[in-house]
Copies of this chain bind each other. A is one copy, B any other.
């Protein structure tokens, strides 16, 4: 096997190469003055199984096109099998047509990756794993980042209580609670029918006195839901609140919003290149390595 590292591999390519003791080829890449991407694989991969590492965080479309260019180049060089390792899979939240006439973005993105020549896809906790598995025509391996997140969370809390900010995140909270051997629960979100605004419902049944609450989600985007969940947790007696998520996008003023809401630590993973140095990053490379 050979690892090919793309422009958005975020160091995971190097870690995989070391852990597995396999050759790493860094893709040559540049952006032309007009904005187009250029990709070249500078060494032979003929007859080899090649794992291309390229995440698709912002700018998603550029990183996606770069991935497709790498797959094409690797295929043309005669690789025997191509595995795309996409730690953060863009467009995973548009996993169905919520309204007639919508593009099913996840499906088309997965089709592009497959049709370009990728036989297998490895990705870390996509929004809906089942949707990824059903839309990608090749083999799919899903990486559960829970062990890596748990390692970092342990450093931050003493008496953890795992709280999912909505019912959909409950299964994720359960996985983390098992890893940390701690209690867990979830709260409820409701969407205002007129304004479209998301609100966290009261949860009078929950007693969080003396607890270090760990809010867990798959993605932190604008941070609105987690900020409300933090305030609610303090209202319910929490001693401290931290937030953990697989993919920390932190859009716009999300970091300030979370800090103002009393969140003391934010923990993410290296599926995303997080620019904010205050976010603690758990490395998921070892969890990818065991899938190869």
Contacts and interface: CB of A to CB of B under 8 A. Distances in A.
Contacts of A102: 38-40, 73
A290 B97 CA distance: 35
A131 interface: no
Contact of A73 (B72, B93, B103): B103
A104 B77 CA distance: 12
A36 interface: yes
A228 interface: no
Nearest to A63: B61
B116 A108 contact: yes
Contacts of A116: 108, 111-112
A69 B64 CA distance: 14
A68 to B, nearest CB: 6
A60 interface: yes
A94 interface: yes
A108 B71 CA distance: 10
Interface string A136-180: 000000000000000000000000000000000000000000000
A37 B222 CA distance: 16
B101 A33 contact: no
- State the oligomeric state as a number of copies: 2
B73 A65 contact: no
Nearest to A250: B34
A181 to B, nearest CB: 34
Contact of A94 (B38, B62, B64, B115): B38
User: In the complex, which of the residues A33, A99, A221 has the most CB atoms of chain B within 10 Å of its own CB atom?
Assistant: A33
B252 A33 contact: yes
A58 B34 CA distance: 7
Given A34-B249, A38-B94, A61-B37, A108 B68 contact: yes
Contacts of A99: 40
Nearest to A93: B36
A105 B35 contact: no
Given A42-B101, A91-B36, A252-B33, A61 B65 contact: yes
Contact of A103 (B62, B70, B103, B249): B70
A102 B75 CA distance: 11
Given A41-B101, A73-B101, A108-B116, 11 more contacts: A33-B252, A34-B249, A36-B93, A36-B94, A38-B94, A61-B65, A62-B62, A70-B103, A76-B97, A77-B101, A111-B115
